[in-house]
Structure 1
Amino acid sequence: MATTTASVMGPHQKYAFEDTTSLLKDINRLPLFMTELDPTDGEGGSNLALEALQALAYEGTPFEIASNFKQQGNDCFSLKHFKDAAEYYGRAIAAILQNDKKKEETSGENSTDKAELAETDEHGSPLQIIDNCGPNADDDEAEKLKELVTTCYLNRAACNLELKNHRRVINDCAEVLKVQPRNAKAYYRSARACLAIDKIKEAQECVERGLDLEPQNSYFKNLAIKIMQREDYLLKVQQQNTQREFMRKHVVRI
């Protein structure tokens, strides 16, 4: 009886003579295994598989597109990739911002441009133009879009807190408060950002409003203490500087 011996699978001929570094670079160009964005094919061309996936990201309704980007942002945030997460949340916001009645098949804008649009007021606030979802949209659809984009603003604010982009935090929270003036998270994140750049009065106001909404919230209470401590410290520094300046001008040197 003839017997067959199992053959041991060796490396693919293409990779037989490649070192580990080169092999990992090739693997990283496969979208499923990417650990960092590589838009090339390693030979001077473009990464067609990646481009196809990026195109798919903009297929579907505005709500579906934005929801997809939001989920990618959540995944990055859980891995503490805050910069990438903030970009995905920006793309989610921009997906709704770009939802006008005239859908251009070739706009010439890349994904980064769309994310940047959500950072500006050039086209109006996405929270103020939810009616762009169309004349036949019902109240439920508009409310879903508004809730989604509000969440993305808040999430991006959380990312920018981690990245110390404090003015962006304040801007994003301001957009939320325009339509949800009782949003405690927006007040809390605004207060933290204001404290970080020594806008003490504004930070105190945000905490006060937050405590009006949630009197037992320990986060607001702890933040109020930090604000008071920072205010005392800044006052002492100011007094010391004033005293030092007075001594410099009025003490007669012998």
Structure 2
Amino acid sequence: MALWMEAGSEPKTDKELADFEAISALKQSTAFELKEKGNEYVKMGKKHYSDSIDCYTRAINQNALSDAEQSILYSNRAHVNLLLGNYRRALQDAEDATKLNPSNVKALYRAAKASFSLNLLPEAKGLCEKGLQHSSSNEELKKLAKQIDIEIAKEERRDAEVSKAVFSAKALVSAFETRGLKIGNPMYQELTGLKKPTLDKNNILHWPVLLLYPEIMSSDFIEEFCETDMFSAHLDMISFVIPPKYRYKNSTNC
């Protein structure tokens, strides 16, 4: 009987061929039934998602359907894994689906969505483009493609800002070293905030400078004190009133 045939062997008699076809038809029917059952479980909600995955897996394991139908099974399982937040599994299933049927638009969309959720932006963009090649009017793919483009633009801006900050920091350190300066820990941040030294395009340092007047419990803060400036230039702009109790009293005896 065909049930006892070795794997990979071909039926040799009419009886074996009939048995083989009957078994293939049964497995095919079982796979379709499991697929439909899996679809029903998805419609029943989150509590039954694991049941739907089990059905799709059992249907796949029948190995009885065409590549196009097997692709749908993998794509359906990818969909449920997306709903569960299992993005790695969803991506793997969607990729397996597209290997079996490269024009499976739903699988391409789900692969793109999983990649996007995993922050694999270039991959997600490429998958969207492939999907739109097969279905240029697909609204889901268009919407996802826009979201991906927005995130790519944000990431590029962040990268540019980081690169600029790193370049500025290196230039500042180089300026300190060139001048033989050693920088200690910041002090009086409650008065100065997070203001830090800066280096302008002419390679001139600008320092945050705090002037303390302990006698009168007062202070002045100069946010950008250019290293080429004289103190007098800033002091001329600073004015404060000395409280009466601290004023010097000149008295003489008559």
> Identity percentage over the alignment?
28
User: In the alignment, residue 36 of structure 2 is paired with which amino acid?
Assistant: Q
Aligned equivalents of 2:121 and 2:161: distance in 1? 19
Aligned equivalents of 2:105 and 2:69: distance in 1? 17
C-alpha distance after superposition, 1:191-233 (max 9, x if no partner): 1111111212111111111111111221121111101001011
Tell me the residue number matched to 1:161.
Answer: 82
User: In the alignment, residue 74 of structure 2 is paired with which amino acid?
Assistant: Y
Query: Is 2:37 aligned against 1:72?
Result: yes
Tell me the residue number matched to 1:148.
Answer: 69
Aligned equivalents of 1:192 and 1:153: distance in 2? 15
Tell me the residue number matched to 1:211.
Answer: 132
RMSD (Å), alpha carbons: 2.1
Query: Is 2:157 aligned against 1:190?
Result: no
Deviation at 1:156, TM superposition (A): 0.3
Q: Unmatched 5+ residue regions in structure 2?
A: 1-24, 177-182, 184-206, 208-254
Aligned equivalents of 1:149 and 1:181: distance in 2? 12
Tell me the residue number matched to 2:192.
Answer: none
Aligned equivalents of 2:54 and 2:151: distance in 1? 32
Larger radius of gyration: 2
Tell me the residue number matched to 1:200.
Answer: 121
User: In the alignment, residue 75 of structure 1 is paired with which amino acid?
Assistant: E
- Is the contact between residue 191 and residue 202 of structure 1 (CA under 8 Å) also seen in structure 2? yes
Deviation at 1:182, TM superposition (A): 1.4
User: In the alignment, residue 74 of structure 1 is paired with which amino acid?
Assistant: N
Aligned equivalents of 1:184 and 1:233: distance in 2? 27
Report the structure, 1 or 2, having the larger strand content. Answer: 2
- Is the contact between residue 67 and residue 101 of structure 2 (CA under 8 Å) also seen in structure 1? no
Tell me the residue number matched to 2:51.
Answer: 84
Aligned equivalents of 2:155 and 2:51: distance in 1? 35
* TM-score normalised per structure 2: 0.53
One of 20, 23, 28 as aligned partner of 1:63: 28
Q: Secondary structure at the match of 1:61?
A: helix
Deviation at 1:171, TM superposition (A): 1.7
Shifted more, 80-89 versus 224-233: the winner is 80-89
- By relative contact order (CA 8 Å, sep 6+), the higher-ranking structure is 1
Q: Unmatched 5+ residue regions in structure 1?
A: 1-59, 97-129, 131-143
* TM-score normalised per structure 1: 0.53
User: In the alignment, residue 38 of structure 2 is paired with which amino acid?
Assistant: G
Tell me the residue number matched to 2:171.
Answer: 250
Deviation at 1:155, TM superposition (A): 0.6
- Is the contact between residue 200 and residue 227 of structure 1 (CA under 8 Å) also seen in structure 2? yes
Aligned equivalents of 1:153 and 1:196: distance in 2? 19
